[in-house]
């Protein structure tokens, strides 16, 4: 075939348009297909084709038609051909494809080859593509190399043995006996392989823990020798003796101590961790890697306070590093260990706050989350100033997070009510356009709860003055309008009624927001404020101006605004005795429990909602009854079981409590119907219930549940035409490993669930698992789930339940 890989790459890169590039790729792909059909194709041409096929794979093009040719290249005797064939096999094939079974004989032959480089390539391929069947067929040849004398192949074989155990756990009993000889080897590469094998066996088989614990003195000796040994040119990296082995030893020892709290050697390990912290320099990355792993080990084995303080101090040194990656790691780790040693983290508050001004957005995000996490009653005044200063000049995409979190922590730790509302008003001045509906509703609800009339007067006056100064901050103007309508009588003596009418008039007649729904929402608030003020203000001239404002909107182009204005004019004309009853001040509403949000799984353009956790004692399957799709595990595969349906589509039958769509109102309040338009006012009643919400934008990513150990996020991959494909991402937030991980899902009886197996049931620290599922049902119906999450961490079984609903529809 004419032309090689370089010519092909040059042709692709010289393409001036996407269409031209696609044409070049299609033409070359067709040539490769034609060439593969030639039964007399020579190995050299096949090699060139496979090289081009790998380039197509890198570009995301289809390559399935060349899979068998990769296996033919593997079967050739030349090492260069085998190496390319094995590389292509690892990239283009996986354990789930049937053609992979054809490689078994080639792998068997090559692993027994006399050429160590051919053996190495075959072992590497086996480790990457092995299926459970291949693991059972080929474990004997791997075992033979573990007993060999070639250190290079022993290391490879140990790592591959660990991979085979992950595919076939029954092989633990075969390879467990090989661990001791590997750990006795003085060669660092072999020792690294042995440590990897030991960790996988430990995580796979709990019965092996006692045997592996016997190797602790040996591992402590290796670690001690590594720390105390001077310069070694063979293994030295940046002044640190073999940081790779050091990290692996720390990981393995920590895993063993974590599951054996009564080990007699724990004090010796504490001493070694102290030596590592004091001897290794933080000036280079190689040293930082070892120190970071030492810090993770400290907080996983949970030693005495002095060692934990030492770990926090190491992280504080990382914060002063010039390397962005090092600072990011430090902030992330401090956030995860804050609950274990809060006072030690507090000592480095100034360094953490300084990171809010860092030029790297990822560091600012982590520093921001950590700053909120360290707030308490003692430092709330100081950190509130820093956060408000940050908010004034922060990135636009961070302002919604800051306003939400600031409201929560200020409410929790405020020294007094006046300080709380002063800071909230400042927040609204800086970022009123970025507050969520929940935040504005929460502020209104908290205002209603205040019993001190002087404080209410102060708040209303401050909001009025702030809105006069800046009429572009939507959240500020919205809350100010509500307070003026509800408490206008309190400020009548200090603020002329004409000024209030002037402000409301400017909001009604001169909307200043690009988002039309915001303008309509604010106008709706203003109309209701005008109606309320008619019974709160005594000046006749002002009352007439309020009536004229309402009248001006009776011919509005928006039907909802027009209808509301006409209804309000009817109420306006009623006798004062009737109006006072209808427009009485709103009673304090029940406040919803609020939870903090996290930036860990958020992206710059995605909004995440937190679902309400359910009591773990409320058993999922018991509550769901018989009219739901519930996942059932059969022979290791999760399947969906369809149960009988009723004609009634009652969500309450599935999720326990019956939903009550009637909001509790005073007897003298008037309800307005709810409408589903983009410009909805969503005013629950004439009294502006603070639970009113604005329609949220459609998003795909939602954080559904989060606790100290794990977080569960849902991603809508595809939806529409009665079908939705979703992914559940379960992440380990903590430092402890998680095992026995499972998540069960249930959907309403009008929908059907197809649940795939979870990608892994064990999560290391910061690891994640993926589970995909599909929901089918009536087109346009909403996605609603109830989930039961189960896992084991630090020897304790945890079960959590939560509900989840998405803005996406089928």
Is residue 260 domain-resident? no
Please say which residue of 583, 604, 627 terminates a domain: 583
Query: pLDDT at position 766, please?
Result: 82
CA–CA distance from 708 to each of 279, 340, 347, 731, 759 (Å)? Answer: 33, 11, 22, 11, 22
Query: pLDDT at position 591, please?
Result: 75
Question: Hey, what long-range contacts does 460-466 have (CB within 8 A, 24 or more apart)?
Answer: 460/484, 460/487, 460/488, 460/490, 460/491, 461/491, 461/494, 461/495, 462/421, 462/422, 462/425, 463/425, 463/428, 464/491, 464/495, 464/499, 464/500, 464/503, 466/425, 466/428, 466/429
- CATH number reported for the structural domain that contains residue 531 in this entry: 1.20.870
User: Per-residue pLDDT for 653 more than 60?
Assistant: no
438-490 confidence digits (pLDDT tens): 899 999 999 999 999 999 999 999 999 999 999 999 999 999 999 999 999 99
Query: pLDDT at position 748, please?
Result: 87
Whole-angstrom distance, CA of residue 142 vs CA of residue 145:
5
Query: pLDDT at position 236, please?
Result: 84
Query: pLDDT at position 671, please?
Result: 34
> How much of the chain, in percent, has pLDDT values that exceed 70?
86
Mean pLDDT within 77-103: 89
Is residue 518 domain-resident? yes
CA–CA distance from 778 to each of 87, 126, 727, 748 (Å)? Answer: 46, 46, 20, 11
**Average of per-residue pLDDT values in the chain:** 83
Is residue 334 domain-resident? no
Query: pLDDT at position 701, please?
Result: 59
CA–CA distance from 630 to each of 257, 644, 746 (Å)? Answer: 39, 12, 5
How far from each other are the two terminal CA atoms of the chain, in whole angstroms?
A: 49
Is residue 606 domain-resident? no
Is residue 134 domain-resident? no
Q: Which residues contact 468 (CB under 8 A, 6 or more apart)?
A: 499, 503
User: Per-residue pLDDT for 652 more than 60?
Assistant: no
Instruction: Answer with the residue of higher pLDDT: 617 or 70.
Output: 70
Domain of 481?
450-583
Provide the number of structural domains found in the chain: 2
User: Per-residue pLDDT for 636 more than 80?
Assistant: no
670-729 confidence digits (pLDDT tens): 333 333 333 333 333 333 333 333 333 334 558 889 888 899 998 888 888 888 888 999
Is residue 477 domain-resident? yes
Is residue 346 domain-resident? no
DSSP for residue 234: T
Please say which residue of 553, 583, 613 terminates a domain: 583
User: Per-residue pLDDT for 770 more than 60?
Assistant: yes
- CATH number reported for the structural domain that contains residue 745 in this entry: 2.60.40.1230
521-547 confidence digits (pLDDT tens): 999 999 999 999 999 988 899 999 999
Query: pLDDT at position 593, please?
Result: 67
User: Per-residue pLDDT for 2 more than 80?
Assistant: no
Helix axes 540-552, 559-572, angle to 10 degrees: 150
User: Per-residue pLDDT for 608 more than 70?
Assistant: no
Query: pLDDT at position 284, please?
Result: 83
Q: Which residues contact 683 (CB under 8 A, 6 or more apart)?
A: 524, 525, 528, 564, 672, 689, 692
Question: Hey, what long-range contacts does 210-218 have (CB within 8 A, 24 or more apart)?
Answer: 211/176, 212/179, 212/256, 213/256, 213/260, 213/263, 215/179, 215/180, 215/183, 215/256, 216/253, 216/256, 216/257, 216/263, 216/265, 217/265, 218/183, 218/184
Q: How far is CA 204 from its chain centroid?
A: 27
Query: pLDDT at position 32, please?
Result: 92
377-427 confidence digits (pLDDT tens): 999 999 999 999 999 988 888 999 999 999 999 999 999 999 999 999 999
User: Per-residue pLDDT for 374 more than 50?
Assistant: yes
Mean pLDDT within 778-802: 88
User: Per-residue pLDDT for 654 more than 90?
Assistant: no
Mean pLDDT within 297-301: 90
Is residue 799 domain-resident? yes
Over 6-42, what HEC string results?
A: HHHHHHHHCCCCHHHHHHHHHHHHHHHHHHHCCCCCC
Reported as a pLDDT band with limits 50, 70 and 90, residue 764 is confident
Q: Which segment of 43-57, 112-126, 313-327, 630-644 scores lowest on mean pLDDT?
A: 630-644
Mean pLDDT within 241-257: 93
pTM tops 0.75, yes or no: no
Mean pLDDT within 191-202: 95
Reported as a pLDDT band with limits 50, 70 and 90, residue 596 is low
Instruction: Answer with the residue of higher pLDDT: 794 or 196.
Output: 196
Instruction: Answer with the residue of higher pLDDT: 95 or 482.
Output: 482
Count how many Cα atoms sit within 13 Å of the Cα of residue 12 in the half-sphere of its side chain. Answer: 17
Instruction: Answer with the residue of higher pLDDT: 4 or 633.
Output: 4
Instruction: Answer with the residue of higher pLDDT: 590 or 211.
Output: 211
The three-state secondary structure class of 314 is: helix
Q: Which segment of 423-432, 450-459, 606-615 scores lowest on mean pLDDT?
A: 606-615
User: Per-residue pLDDT for 634 more than 80?
Assistant: no
Please say which residue of 559, 583, 607 terminates a domain: 583
């Amino acid at each position: 075939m004419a032309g090689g890989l370089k010519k092909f790459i040059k042709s692709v890169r010289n393409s001036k348009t996407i269409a031209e590039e696609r044409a070049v790729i299609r033409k070359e792909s067709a040539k490769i297909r034609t060439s593969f059909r030639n039964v007399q194709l020579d190995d050299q041409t096949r090699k060139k084709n496979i090289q081009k096929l790998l380039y197509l794979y890198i570009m995301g093009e289809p390559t399935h038609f060349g899979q068998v040719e990769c296996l033919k290249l593997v079967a050739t005797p030349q090492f260069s051909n085998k190496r390319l064939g094995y590389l292509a096999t690892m990239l283009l094939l996986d354990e789930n494809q049937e053609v992979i079974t054809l490689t078994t004989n080639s792998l068997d032959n090559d692993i027994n080859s006399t050429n160590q480089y051919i053996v190495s390539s075959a072992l590497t391929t086996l480790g990457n593509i092995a299926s459970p069947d291949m693991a059972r067929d080929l474990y004997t040849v791997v075992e033979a190399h573990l007993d060999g004398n070639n250190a290079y192949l022993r290391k490879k074989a140990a790592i591959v043995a660990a991979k085979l155990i992950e595919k076939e756990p029954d092989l633990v009993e075969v390879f467990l006996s090989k661990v001791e000889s590997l750990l006795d080897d003085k060669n660092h590469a072999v020792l690294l392989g042995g440590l990897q094998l030991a960790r996988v066996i430990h995580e796979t088989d709990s019965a092996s823990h006692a045997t592996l614990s016997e190797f602790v003195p040996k591992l402590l000796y290796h670690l001690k020798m590594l720390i105390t040994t001077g310069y070694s040119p063979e293994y030295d990296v940046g002044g640190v003796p073999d940081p790779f082995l050091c990290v692996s030893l720390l990981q393995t020892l920590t895993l063993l101590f974590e599951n054996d709290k009564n080990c007699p050697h724990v004090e010796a390990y504490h001493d070694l961790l102290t030596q590592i912290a004091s001897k290794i320099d933080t000036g280079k990355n190689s040293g930082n890697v070892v120190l970071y792993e030492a810090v993770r080990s400290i907080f996983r084995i949970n030693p005495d306070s002095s060692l934990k303080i030492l770990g926090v101090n190491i992280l504080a040194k990382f914060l002063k590093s010039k390397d962005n990656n090092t600072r990011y790691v430090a902030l992330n780790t401090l956030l995860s260990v804050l609950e274990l040693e809060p006072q030690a983290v507090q000592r480095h508050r100034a360094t953490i706050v300084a990171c809010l001004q860092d030029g790297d957005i990822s560091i600012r995000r982590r520093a921001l989350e950590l700053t909120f996490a360290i707030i308490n009653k003692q430092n709330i005044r100081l950190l509130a100033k820093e956060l408000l200063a940050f908010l004034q000049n922060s990135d636009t995409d961070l302002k919604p997070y800051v306003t939400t979190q600031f409201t929560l922590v200020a409410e929790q730790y405020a020294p007094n009510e006046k300080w709380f509302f002063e800071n909230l008003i400042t927040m609204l001045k800086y970022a009123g356009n970025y507050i969520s509906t929940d935040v504005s509703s929460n502020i209104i609800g908290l205002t209603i709860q205040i019993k001190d009339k002087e404080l209410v007067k102060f708040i209303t006056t401050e909001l009025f003055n702030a809105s006069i100064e800046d009429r572009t901050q939507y959240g500020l103007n919205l809350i100010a309008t509500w307070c003026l309508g509800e408490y206008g009588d309190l400020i009548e003596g200090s603020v002329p009624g004409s000024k209030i009418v002037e402000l409301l008039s400017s909001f009604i007649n001169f909307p200043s927001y690009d988002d039309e729904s915001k303008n309509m929402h604010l106008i709706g608030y203003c109309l209701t404020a005008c109606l309320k003020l008619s019974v709160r203000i005594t000046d006749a001239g002002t009352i007439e101006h309020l009536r004229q404002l309402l009248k001006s909107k009776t011919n509005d182009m928006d039907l909802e605004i027009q209808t509301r204005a006409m209804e309000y004019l009817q109420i306006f004309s009623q006798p004062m005795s009737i109006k006072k009853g209808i427009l009485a001040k709103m009673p304090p509403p029940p406040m919803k429990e609020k939870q903090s949000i996290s930036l860990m799984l958020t992206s710059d353009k995605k909004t995440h909602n937190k679902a309400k956790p359910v009591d773990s004692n409320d058993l999922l399957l018991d509550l769901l009854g018989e009219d739901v799709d519930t996942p059932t595990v059969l022979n290791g595969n999760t399947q969906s079981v369809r149960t009988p349906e009723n004609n009634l589509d009652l969500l309450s039958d599935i999720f326990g409590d019956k939903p009550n769509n009637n909001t509790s109102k005073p007897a003298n309040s008037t309800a307005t119907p709810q409408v589903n338009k983009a410009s909805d006012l969503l005013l629950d009643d004439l009294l502006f219930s603070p639970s009113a919400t604005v329609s949220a934008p459609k998003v795909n990513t939602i954080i559904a549940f989060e606790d100290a150990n794990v977080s569960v996020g849902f991603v809508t991959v595809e939806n529409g035409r009665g079908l939705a494909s979703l992914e559940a991402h379960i992440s380990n937030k903590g430092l402890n490993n998680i095992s026995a991980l499972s998540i069960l899902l249930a959907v309403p009886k009008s929908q059907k669930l197809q649940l795939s197996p979870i990608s892994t049931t064990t999560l290391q620290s910061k690891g994640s698992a993926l589970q995909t599922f599909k929901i089918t049902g009536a087109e346009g119906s909403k996605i609603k789930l109830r989930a039961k999450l189960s896992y084991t961490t630090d020897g304790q079984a945890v079960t959590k339940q939560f509900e989840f609903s998405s803005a996406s529809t089928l």
